[in-house]
Amino acid sequence: MGTRIQITVNNGGDMQAKFVSRVMKAGENGVLVIPFMHKGVRVNFEGENIRIHMQVPDAEGNNWTFKNCRITTSRKDGLVYHKITSSVSTGIENRRGERRTYIWQPAVFNIDGMVDPLFTTLKDLSPSGFAFVIESRKRLPLQIGTGVTCKLNERDGNIIHIKGKIIRKEKMDQYMLYGCRGAEPNQEVVDYLKRLSGKKDENDNEQYMEK
């Protein structure tokens, strides 16, 4: 009880949102959490293409992802909760192990074995890695272990070079997602994420909603 969890909601395309809450009750049939809110309104998780993934930390500090969750509204003892259920009982370990910052902006990627740079979208970034997507229609499959250098342009014209290797890939409805582990510590990335953190944290919705 009290564990802080995060969910990522994707519409099957390029729209993604993140919400955080705390577990109030846990059982074999799922967990009850403080309702996820947006601008004071309880979020309704409905739609044909919606996919929901939940991230849960354990006592050792590892993050575990439970994919394709379902969220419904539940009332218990006069209070309103969101109930999260998953078709799997064991999560997948987050190989980067820390919070990822959602970026979703164009960037240039140099891929080992490719002569020309690749212009595509940087999905998210953390101190130890990054993820990017390529439109499925481009039919450009990349292999696990391939070296990648991301060139991220800041608004002031500064360019951050982020080196890594592909450690996972996942097929989405319109994209192929590639997750990369960073090749070396990068203080520029840490500083960049600190600057971003001052602009984003509106989703920390730890409000408790009564009926």
Secondary-structure class of domain 4-93 per CATH: mainly beta
Confidence (pLDDT) at 121: 92
Structural contact between residues 66 and 57, judged by C-beta atoms closer than 8 angstroms: no
Q: For residues 174 and 156, what is the distance between their CA atoms, to the nearest angstrom? A: 31
Per-position b or e across 116-132, b if 16+ CB within 10 A of its CB: eebebbbbbbbbbbbbb
Extents of the domains making up the chain: 4-93, 101-197
Q: Provide Rg for the chain, Cα atoms.
A: 18
Percentage of the chain beyond pLDDT 90 is 30
Q: For residues 194 and 126, what is the distance between their CA atoms, to the nearest angstrom? A: 11
pLDDT digits (tens, 9 = 90+) for 112-150: 999 999 999 998 888 889 999 998 888 788 999 999 999
pLDDT of 199 strictly over 60: no
pLDDT of 107 strictly over 90: yes
pLDDT digits (tens, 9 = 90+) for 1-49: 678 888 888 876 666 788 899 999 887 778 999 999 888 889 988 877 7
Q: For residues 200 and 189, what is the distance between their CA atoms, to the nearest angstrom? A: 16
Q: Which CATH architecture has domain 101-197?
A: Beta Barrel (2.40)
Whole-model pTM: value is 0.56
